[in-house]
Chains A and B, each alone.
Chain A
């Protein structure tokens, strides 16, 4: 039996009077590569952001890597060191070079010496195919390059699991492939990954689980084959019709 990584029970999240998550209960195991799909505004991003405390939890329990996020005593900074996150808008620090972006967290948190961090960063850059960009400033990179640096930055902390929040949505189509390739490589290495995405092909090929959310609820949770070949819920059917038959 694979190790339990995330345990979510009856998670609710509201922004004021607007309830975005309406009671989500699910579990993720070590090595899971889960794609979360659904229409815009269905609460997928919010769901992801509750998992590293970027969004406060209104009610329910969320236990990540053994940390109870709803417990006010939990050190969120500690949790976040173990949960990497990649954003739609990359969010690289424009005042730092590529290398500095990657070594920033390990050095700030004194997890590594400067040399160690440096070597590790160069390794990661090699891994994402950007060895030559170490001293570049983020503004000189293309979108795809930026996102790969952002992945390297998250990996620099040696996270236990990775959250991807629509990592390719802001990219020009010809850049998407490079990023997905890096992610696929990561999945192969056994990284636990939760990916909010619209890349159905990627979901089908790489994920071992696909979750369909709409209206703040999980409507379907199954293997990619089942979700894409044999969708059960009418709204999933409707959604797939719209996304796949454009």
Chain B
């Protein structure tokens, strides 16, 4: 008995110490495929090299592992892993659900794709160009699957080969017009001197991952992921990739501007939104920044709202826009689009407690909400008669979500990532139906402008997709890994204020500054026009009449938009130079014009309310018109007009909310941005209303005091 105990103890101690030794100087056995260029293959010196080999060596070095690499072949490597003879496998292995049952995978270290290549000079950049042509492919590959599936759609014929060398030869001699193969393999071949070129982005077929046996060696996965991330950040990853694969980015695309202004939506989570530390993040944001970094150009991103972004890009206020924008034929008329960077699905969402909606047919007689101007709306309108639902259109997501909660709609349709993100943020929605593919998102520039920017975006996107960074970004916002927003509790009023007061103060600052600056200018202009309108000169009277009627006859929002977009457009069409206008300046001009027209009327009313006898009495003494105005009429008129002027000031302050239409982030727009992040529309908008109320009430009280004092 004692012996047995002792033995157990010895075993325990041995095991324990062994673990310690392992951690100190760990030998890690890794198996790979025998030949899978460019991931692993023997070079001229019979030495194994390749992306997998180099990457694993680098990562081991960083983790302090002692690497023991073997190259038994793909199937053998997996067998060894299952048998526990090797610790991990890196072999250009796709991460699949099947494999996940028996292996634990690292993050994707390579996004594998298949792509079309042609002979140099025969540029093929769209699948449509393949119509009537023959395309070669290797038997039993993912490329073959893809080509077969899309054969009818694009009208090409397929020629199948058993060997890669045959495939390449037939392209060389012209038996086939194009070939499709694994992108890294093709690029490596080009790198090795094959006279081919690739002018399209690839079709993604899978992610490559490093694998360990399920439930073991969690430290290897963690260490691999950590080191991989570091390599991506410090460029070590790209260096390895570039060694084996010549990518398009080597074609020198040089930025022509020192800084590109990229505009985006202000509230389209998870593509762009402010996180709890007020920084704009999202798929678009991270992607754009990663691409800029990758392609070595500088960007400034402004989050002005979707429509505003479109308008600004069209007005050349911005060089490009990325805003979860679907690529449509309509938009192609005015924009040049990049390769699609995201495939958008739209999905029907219902309350999580709703159980009776399982197909589109169940929507019969129900009301379905949708945001105005979206692809979802187009889809819903098209299928309205088929399924017998009615459509209710909303301008903003938050009001639509609220309507679902309150039951005024039974379901809504929105972009899948947006709905997913909302659910992730705690909204109690469910998505019982299969999502509908509604389009592809693209980065856009104004048609015919900034071609280098578009080229850099495409090149960068291809590279990010290839090195897996793209997936990391997308998963960050659509997976369950996003913990950023859990840091601060924004479900209480105090939490909202605590976390946003600086932003709100800034918004209020803009609101007040807009109001005050425009009101002072309007006062000057308005008084001048007001005096014109009571002057004896018919010309001045008529001139003022026209000014007041014109300005008052145009709604303020139209005026603001006209000034901000219309005027620069006009100047551009005359001078040929783009002359963007600052949004603040445009806002001040619009508010000034608007208020000055009303102030002119107030002044006219004030002067006219001074009895005519006052003018006559002064004139009968021999005093001139101007002096009479200044000394007798105006002092009396001012007294009369003060309440109206204070009233106009309050109206101007309220009118600043309209300026949010051109993307200026004043108080209301600040609120919208916050709501887009935390979905607390009642509390946030309540708070915004309260702030306006306090400011305006204090003004009113001040005005009353002033009036009393003047009496």
Interface residues of A (CB under 8 A from B): 52, 54, 77-81, 83-85, 87, 89, 91-95, 104-105, 108-109, 150, 153-154, 157
Contacts and interface: CB of A to CB of B under 8 A. Distances in A.
Contacts of A85: 617, 620
A80 B615 CA distance: 13
A81 B619 contact: no
A96 to B, nearest CB: 8
Given A94-B636, A108-B627, A89 B613 contact: yes
B622 A93 contact: no
A109 B623 contact: yes
A91 B613 contact: yes
Contact of B621 (A89, A94, A95, A105): A105
B622 A77 contact: yes
B624 A52 contact: no
B622 A109 contact: yes
Interface string B2-35: 0000000000000000000000000000000000
Nearest to A156: B621
Given A91-B611, A91-B613, A52 B620 contact: yes
Interface in B629-646: 631-632, 635-636, 639
B616 interface: yes
Contacts of B611: 89, 91
B405 interface: no
B622 A91 contact: no
A87 B616 contact: yes
A204 B445 CA distance: 94
Most B-side CB within 10 Å, residue of A104, A150, A153 = A104
B618 interface: yes
Contact of B622 (A81, A92, A150): A81
Given A84-B620, A91-B617, A104-B621, 9 more contacts: A52-B620, A79-B622, A80-B619, A83-B620, A87-B617, A91-B616, A93-B617, A104-B618, A109-B622
A53 to B, nearest CB: 8
Contacts of A92: 617
A16 B611 CA distance: 23
B614 interface: yes
Interface residues of B, number: 18
B616 A54 contact: yes
A55 to B, nearest CB: 10
Contact of B614 (A78, A83, A91, A157): A91
A157 B618 CA distance: 12
Contacts of A95: 632, 635-636, 639
Contacts of B616: 54, 87, 91
A154 B621 contact: yes
Interface in B445-500: none
B614 A93 contact: yes
A150 B613 CA distance: 12
B478 to A, nearest CB: 71
Nearest to B625: A77
Give the 4 A-B residue pairs with the shortest CB-CB distance, closest first.
Answer: A91-B617, A81-B622, A105-B621, A91-B613
Contacts of A84: 620-621
15 contacts: A80-B621, A83-B620, A84-B621, A87-B617, A89-B613, A91-B616, A93-B614, A93-B617, A95-B635, A104-B621, A104-B623, A105-B618, A108-B623, A108-B627, A109-B623
A72 to B, nearest CB: 14
Contacts, number: 59
A80 B621 CA distance: 6
A152 to B, nearest CB: 12
Contact of B631 (A83, A89, A104, A150): A104
A15 to B, nearest CB: 15
A54 B621 contact: no
A157 B632 contact: no
B307 to A, nearest CB: 52
Contacts of A94: 636
A87 B613 contact: yes
A54 B619 contact: yes
A229 to B, nearest CB: 35
A40 B622 CA distance: 28
Interface string B271-297: 000000000000000000000000000
Nearest to B636: A95
Contact of B620 (A54, A78, A89, A104): A54
A77 B624 contact: yes
A78 B159 CA distance: 108
A78 B631 CA distance: 19
Nearest to B639: A95
Nearest to B638: A95
A81 B621 contact: yes
A208 B550 CA distance: 60
Given A94-B636, A95-B632, A157 B613 contact: no
A125 B619 CA distance: 22
B622 A105 contact: yes
A92 B613 CA distance: 9
Contacts of A157: 621-622
Nearest to A85: B620
Interface in B160-201: none
B269 to A, nearest CB: 60
A114 B619 CA distance: 21
Nearest to B621: A105
A92 B621 CA distance: 12
A139 to B, nearest CB: 11
Contacts of A54: 616, 619-620
Contact of B623 (A77, A87, A154): A77
Nearest to B624: A77
Interface in B590-632: 611, 613-614, 616-624, 627, 631-632
B641 to A, nearest CB: 14
Nearest to A95: B635
B521 to A, nearest CB: 27
Residue from A52, A91, A105, A154 with most neighbouring chain B CB atoms (10 Å): A91
A71 B618 CA distance: 22
Nearest to A150: B617
Contacts of A109: 622-623
Contacts of A108: 623, 627, 631
A115 to B, nearest CB: 20
Nearest to A94: B636
A153 B611 CA distance: 18
A84 B636 CA distance: 24
Contacts of A89: 611, 613
Contacts of B619: 54, 80
B228 to A, nearest CB: 82
Contact of A93 (B618, B620, B627, B639): B618
Nearest to A93: B632
Interface string B495-516: 0000000000000000000000
Contacts of A79: 622
A109 B632 CA distance: 14
Most buried by B among A81, A84, A105: A105
Contacts of A87: 613, 616-617
Contacts of B631: 104, 108
Nearest to B627: A108
B617 A78 contact: no
A92 to B, nearest CB: 8
Contacts of A105: 618, 621-623
B636 A80 contact: no
A104 B620 CA distance: 12
A57 to B, nearest CB: 16
B617 A80 contact: no
Which of B617, B620, B623, B639 has the most chain A CB atoms closer than 10 A to its own CB? Answer: B620
Most buried by A among B617, B618, B619, B621: B621
Contacts of B632: 93, 95
A16 B616 CA distance: 21
Contacts of A78: 622
Nearest to B614: A91
A175 to B, nearest CB: 19
Contacts of B624: 77
